[in-house]
Structures are given as C-alpha cells and as structure tokens.
Amino acid sequence: MSTTFKELSDRIGQVGELYARVHDIPRSADWYLLKLTEELGELTAEHLLLGGRARPNPDGSGGTREALENEAADLFGQFILYLRENDIDIEAAIERKWLRHLDK
C-alpha cells in the first residue's frame, strides 16, 4: 500500500510535534526556516564526505550512503514541517511552477 503525500505530511507533522515536546523546543516561523537551513548544511557535509571532498569526522561517523540518505530524510522532513507551518500547498505550487511546462 502506498502512502499519499497528505498521509506522509501528517505523519511527519506528528513526529515534529513529538520532537518539539520531548526536547522542549519552542518553534516559531523563523525556527522552521533556520532548521531547514541547518539540515541542508548537514546534507552538504555528508555529500562532501561521501565524495572524498571533506575531512573525515573525528569519531569516524558519516561518509556512508546510509548517512547521506538519513540527512536527505532529515531535510525532506523539515521541509514538510516548513510547508505545514506556512500553509503552503506544495502540490499546487509544483503544478503551477514546474509541471505546467509539460503541457506545452
């Protein structure tokens, strides 16, 4: 059974609520954007590490395909939370901005 985008978004929203509650994080509109930026930095670091263009972590962590995928998942999850916080209908926006080019 496949998951719809809305179902995935709702589940990610639940995890976001749990994370904020467990870690006592007061979230604001700016927090979502800043967290998204942080996660992009972590994905970039893993990308460079995996490609041999960064120094290994002192503890030997990272630099694996799994670490890269995990950081991509973090970025995607935070992006979903950003969309939810800002009431952005990404499916409509993608249709309007990207997919309309396929109709030409």
pLDDT tens digits, residue range 23-73? 999 999 999 999 999 999 999 999 999 998 888 888 888 889 999 999 999
Q: Spell 20-40 as b/e; 16+ CB within 10 A means b.
A: eeeeeeeeeeeebeebbeebe
- Assess whether pLDDT exceeds 70 at residue 1: no
Which DSSP state fits 76?
A: H
Residue pointed to by tokens 């109709």: 103
List % helix, strand, coil for the chain (3-state, nearest 5). Answer: 70, 0, 30
User: 28-103: what fold?
Assistant: Helix Hairpins (1.10.287)
Residue 21: which H helix or E strand, with range? Answer: helix 5-22
What is the model's pLDDT at position 60? 81
What is the model's pLDDT at position 92? 97
- Rounded to the nearest angstrom, the gap between the alpha carbon of residue 2 and the centroid of all alpha carbons in its chain is 20
Domain range annotation of the chain:
28-103
